[in-house]
Chain A
Amino acid sequence: MKSLALSCFLLLVSCFFSEAKTIIVCSECKVTQLTTALDLAADFDTILVKKGIYTSVNTEIKKQVVIIGENYPVIDGQEKDEVLVVKADNVILSGLWIKNSKRGSMKDYAGIRVVDSRNVKIINCKLENTFFGIYLANSKNCLISGNHSKGANYGNSDTGNGVQLWKCDSIKIENNHMEGHRDGIYFEFAHFCLIEKNLCEKNFRYGLHFMFSDSDVYRKNTFQNNGTGVAVMYTKNVEMYDNIFRNNWGDAAYGLLLKDISNSIIERNTFTNNTVGVTMEGSNSITFSKNNFASNGYALKVMANCIRDTFMYNNFTANTFDAATNGELRENSFKYNYWDKYEGYDLNRDKIGDIPFRPVSLYSMIIEQMPYAVMLLRSFTVEILNRAEKSIPGIVPETFQDYAPMMKPHSL
C-alpha cells in the first residue's frame, strides 16, 4: 500500500515537471530550424513554426509532436528527397506549406509520408511541386483534412498521386483539393475509410483510383476534368453517395469505371458531360439508384459479364446514347428509371409507362461491332434503322430493358 502511494506521488511529480512545452521556430528565434526543434522536442510537445522558409530534407518525425504553421511557413525539400516523414503516433501537422520533393521512378517521393503510425492528423496544409502529395503506408485512424495539393506539372509519367493510401485502415479524407497529379486519390488495400467533400480535378489520369479497398464510403466528392475520370477495381462493399462526376471528355474517358466491383451501392450521384457516364465490367450486385445521368455520350456501358445489378429511380436525360452493351445481360434489373427517349404511354395514369423501354439502340450495337460506322452518326438512315428496330425489336438484347419506365423525371 505504501509503495503504491509512493509511486502515485512520484507519477504526479513527474507529470508536474514534464509539462508539454511549446517550441517556437522562426528566423529570429532561438530555434531557427524545424529539424533542431524536433531534436529538442519531447513527446506531446508543440512546435510552432512562424512564417518563413525552412529547409527540410527527409525530416523524420519520430516523436509524438504537434507541428503548427503560422501563416503557412514554407517547408522546402529542395528536390533532394522527401520533405516530411512521420514515424510516430498522434502527430498533428497543420498549416504547413510543403514544397519541392524529389521526383523519381525508383521511389515514390512524397511531400508528407506517414509510415506505420496511428492517429496522425494532417490538416490545412498546402503542397506544391511534390511528386506524391500525402502518402500513408500501413497506418490507422488518421485524418487528412482541408489540404490543397497541386502536382508538379511534368506530364503523366512523371507525376505522383495526390493522396495515396497503401495498406491503411479507418482513414478519413475530407475537404481536400487535389489537382495536377497522376491520380487525385489512390488507394491500395485501404479499408473502412471515409472520403468526403473532396475536389479532384485536372489530374492526368484518374480523379479517384482504388484497388482491393473494401468497405470504403465516398460522399459528396467532386471529380471533374480528369484525364480519364474515376476508375475503381477489384473491390467489394463500396458505397458512393452524392458525388459528382463531370466533364471527363476524351477518347478513353469515363465518369466512373467499375471493374470487378461487387456488393456496392451507388446512390444520388450526378454524371454529366462524360464521354461515358458509367462503364461496368465484371461487376456484380451493384445497386444504382437515384442517380442523374445527363448530357453524356453514353450514359451506361454495361458489359455482358455484369450480373445481378440493379438500376432504379435514375434519370437519363440528353445523353447521345442511353446505354450500350456487348451481348445479352443476365439477371440485371432496370426499373422505375426515367428515360427522356421513352415514347410509350400511360393509360392507367400511375406515372409508369405501360410498355417497356429498351435503352440500347440498334445503332449503338452496330458501333460496338464496327467502330467505323461512327461515320454515320446522326445520319437519316441510322434514324430510320433505329425506328424500325424499335417497333419490331430483333437485334438489340432482349434482356436489356426497363420494364417500368417512368413518364416524368424523378426530382433528385
Chain B
Amino acid sequence: MFKIAKYVMYDILRSKVLIAYSLFLLLVSFSLFSMEENSSKSLISLMSVVMIIVPLVSIIFSTTYFYNAYQFIELLVAQPISRSSILLGEFLGVSVSLLTALLIGVGIPVLIYAPDSTGLVLMISGFALTLSFISLAFFSSVAMRDKAKGIGMSLMLWFYFSVIYDGLVLGILFSFNEYPLEKAVIALASFNPIDLGRIIILMKMDISALMGLTGAVYKQFFGSSFGIIYSLSIMLMWIIFPLLIALRIFRKKNL
C-alpha cells in the first residue's frame, strides 16, 4: 500500500500540475495578505478562495489522475496485491501530494502572516475538504467506467456542493421560515462539507456576533467542545464514507 502511494507521489510530482497548483495558491495567499494590513480580513478572503478552489482542484485532479493511471492499476491488479490496498495506496498517494501542495500554498503564508488559532482552523478545514473531495473523486471514478462521464460526475458533485446545495438550503429556509430551525440548520450544514468547513472558520473569526441570535445558537453549538468533536467527526465521515463505497465497488468491479 505504502509502496504504491510512493509511486503515485513520484508520478504526480512529474506531471507538474501539482506544482502549478501550489504556486497558484501561494501567489493568491501572499497577494491577499499583502493587500490588506488587517490579517483577519485577508483570512476571510483567503477562506472564500479556499472554499471554492481547493475542492474543485482536489476533485478534478484526483479524477483525471485516477483515469490516467488506469493501466497502471490494471497492471497492479494482475499482481498478488489485494484490491483494497491498491485503491487505498492510490488514495494515500494523491492525498499526500495534494495536502503538501495546500500546506505549501496556504500553510506557509498563514504561518507567516496569521499564525493564530483562526489560521489553524482554516488549515484544518482546508485539509479536511481536500481529503473529502479526493474521496468523492475516487467514488465517482470507480463508479463510472468512462473517463468523460467520471469527470462530468466529479464536476457535478463539486457544483452541487458549492452552489446548488446552498440554493436548496435557501429554498428550504424560505419555505419553513416560520418554524424554529436552529437544529435543522445545523443538520443542513452537516450534509455539506464545504458549508461545515466555512461555518467552523467563521465561528472562530468572532464574526458570529454579526449573525445575531442565530449566530449565538451556532456559536453555542460549534464553539462547545461537543460541537468541535461533532464537526470534526462529520468531516471525517465525509472522508471515510465515499472512500468506503468506492472500495466496495472497486473490490467487485469487473475491470
* Pairwise interchain contact A374-B163, C-beta atoms closer than 8 A: no
| CB-contacts of B61-115 with A (<8 A) | none
User: How far is it, in angstroms, between the C-alpha of A275 and the C-alpha of B216 when the chains are bound?
Assistant: 13
Q: Name which residue of chain B comes closest to A383, CB basis.
A: B48
* Pairwise interchain contact B207-A382, C-beta atoms closer than 8 A: no
Name the contact of B166 in the complex, choosing from A251, A297, A320, A380 (C-beta under 8 A): A380
User: How far is it, in angstroms, between the C-alpha of A38 and the C-alpha of B188 when the chains are bound?
Assistant: 72
User: How far is it, in angstroms, between the C-alpha of A379 and the C-alpha of B207 when the chains are bound?
Assistant: 14
**A394 located at the interface, meaning its Cβ lies under 8 Å from any Cβ of chain B in the complex:** no
* Pairwise interchain contact A378-B198, C-beta atoms closer than 8 A: yes
Q: Which residues of B contact A376 (CB under 8 A)?
A: 166, 169-170, 195
Q: Name which residue of chain A comes closest to B210, CB basis.
A: A297
* Pairwise interchain contact B211-A374, C-beta atoms closer than 8 A: yes
Q: Name which residue of chain A comes closest to B166, CB basis.
A: A381
Interface string of A20-62 (1 = CB under 8 A from B): 0000000000000000000000000000000000000000000
Q: Which residues of B contact A318 (CB under 8 A)?
A: 38, 41
| CB-contacts of B192-207 with A (<8 A) | 195, 198-199, 202, 206-207
Given A370-B173, A380-B162, A380-B163, A375:B206 Cβ within 8 A? no
**B213 located at the interface, meaning its Cβ lies under 8 Å from any Cβ of chain A in the complex:** yes
Q: Name which residue of chain B comes closest to A371, CB basis.
A: B214
Q: How far is the CB of A376 from chain B (nearest CB, A)?
A: 5
**A295 located at the interface, meaning its Cβ lies under 8 Å from any Cβ of chain B in the complex:** yes
Name the contact of B51 in the complex, choosing from A249, A253, A380 (C-beta under 8 A): A380
**B181 located at the interface, meaning its Cβ lies under 8 Å from any Cβ of chain A in the complex:** yes
Specify which of B167, B170, B185 lies most central, judged by the most chain A CB atoms within 10 Å of its CB. Answer: B170
* Pairwise interchain contact B199-A375, C-beta atoms closer than 8 A: yes
Name the contact of A378 in the complex, choosing from B44, B170, B188, B209 (C-beta under 8 A): B44
Specify which of A370, A374, A377 lies most central, judged by the most chain B CB atoms within 10 Å of its CB. Answer: A374
Q: Name which residue of chain A comes closest to B214, CB basis.
A: A371
Q: Name which residue of chain A comes closest to B164, CB basis.
A: A381
**A10 located at the interface, meaning its Cβ lies under 8 Å from any Cβ of chain B in the complex:** no
Given A373-B170, A376-B170, A381-B170, A295:B215 Cβ within 8 A? no
Given A370-B173, A372-B214, A374-B212, A379:B206 Cβ within 8 A? no
User: How far is it, in angstroms, between the C-alpha of A320 and the C-alpha of B208 when the chains are bound?
Assistant: 12
User: How far is it, in angstroms, between the C-alpha of A378 and the C-alpha of B214 when the chains are bound?
Assistant: 16
* Pairwise interchain contact A375-B188, C-beta atoms closer than 8 A: yes
Name the contact of A251 in the complex, choosing from B48, B182, B199, B216 (C-beta under 8 A): B216
Q: Which residues of A contact B215 (CB under 8 A)?
A: 251, 374
**A14 located at the interface, meaning its Cβ lies under 8 Å from any Cβ of chain B in the complex:** no
Q: How far is the CB of A371 from chain B (nearest CB, A)?
A: 5
* Pairwise interchain contact A251-B209, C-beta atoms closer than 8 A: yes
* Pairwise interchain contact B38-A372, C-beta atoms closer than 8 A: no
**A348 located at the interface, meaning its Cβ lies under 8 Å from any Cβ of chain B in the complex:** no
User: How far is it, in angstroms, between the C-alpha of A298 and the C-alpha of B207 when the chains are bound?
Assistant: 11
Q: Which residues of A contact B41 (CB under 8 A)?
A: 295, 318
**A344 located at the interface, meaning its Cβ lies under 8 Å from any Cβ of chain B in the complex:** no
**B52 located at the interface, meaning its Cβ lies under 8 Å from any Cβ of chain A in the complex:** yes
Q: How far is the CB of B185 from chain A (nearest CB, A)?
A: 5
| CB-contacts of A166-180 with B (<8 A) | none
User: How far is it, in angstroms, between the C-alpha of A380 and the C-alpha of B163 when the chains are bound?
Assistant: 6
Q: How far is the CB of A250 from chain B (nearest CB, A)?
A: 5
Specify which of A275, A298, A380 lies most central, judged by the most chain B CB atoms within 10 Å of its CB. Answer: A380
User: How far is it, in angstroms, between the C-alpha of A241 and the C-alpha of B186 when the chains are bound?
Assistant: 44
**B47 located at the interface, meaning its Cβ lies under 8 Å from any Cβ of chain A in the complex:** yes
User: How far is it, in angstroms, between the C-alpha of A264 and the C-alpha of B154 when the chains are bound?
Assistant: 59
Q: How far is the CB of B190 from chain A (nearest CB, A)?
A: 11
Q: Which residues of B contact A378 (CB under 8 A)?
A: 44, 47-48, 51, 198, 202
Q: Name which residue of chain A comes closest to B41, CB basis.
A: A318
**B15 located at the interface, meaning its Cβ lies under 8 Å from any Cβ of chain A in the complex:** no
Interface string of A224-255 (1 = CB under 8 A from B): 00000000000000000000000001110100
User: How far is it, in angstroms, between the C-alpha of A371 and the C-alpha of B48 when the chains are bound?
Assistant: 21
Interface string of A356-378 (1 = CB under 8 A from B): 00000000001001111111111
Q: Which residues of A contact B51 (CB under 8 A)?
A: 378-380
Q: Name which residue of chain A comes closest to B168, CB basis.
A: A381
Q: Which residues of A contact B185 (CB under 8 A)?
A: 372, 375
Interface string of B146-184 (1 = CB under 8 A from A): 000000000000000011001101100110010001100
* Pairwise interchain contact B207-A381, C-beta atoms closer than 8 A: no
Given A251-B212, A378-B47, A320:B174 Cβ within 8 A? no
* Pairwise interchain contact A379-B195, C-beta atoms closer than 8 A: yes
Specify which of B38, B47, B215 lies most central, judged by the most chain A CB atoms within 10 Å of its CB. Answer: B215
Q: How far is the CB of A189 from chain B (nearest CB, A)?
A: 33
Q: How far is the CB of A137 from chain B (nearest CB, A)?
A: 37
**A384 located at the interface, meaning its Cβ lies under 8 Å from any Cβ of chain B in the complex:** yes
Residues of A within 8 A of B (CB): 249-251, 253, 275, 295, 297-298, 318, 320, 366, 369-384
- A-B residue pairs, 10 tightest by C-beta: A381-B166, A297-B210, A374-B211, A371-B214, A379-B166, A372-B181, A370-B177, A275-B209, A380-B162, A372-B173
Residues of B within 8 A of A (CB): 38, 41, 44, 47-48, 51-52, 162-163, 166-167, 169-170, 173-174, 177, 181-182, 185, 188-189, 195, 198-199, 202, 206-207, 209-216, 218
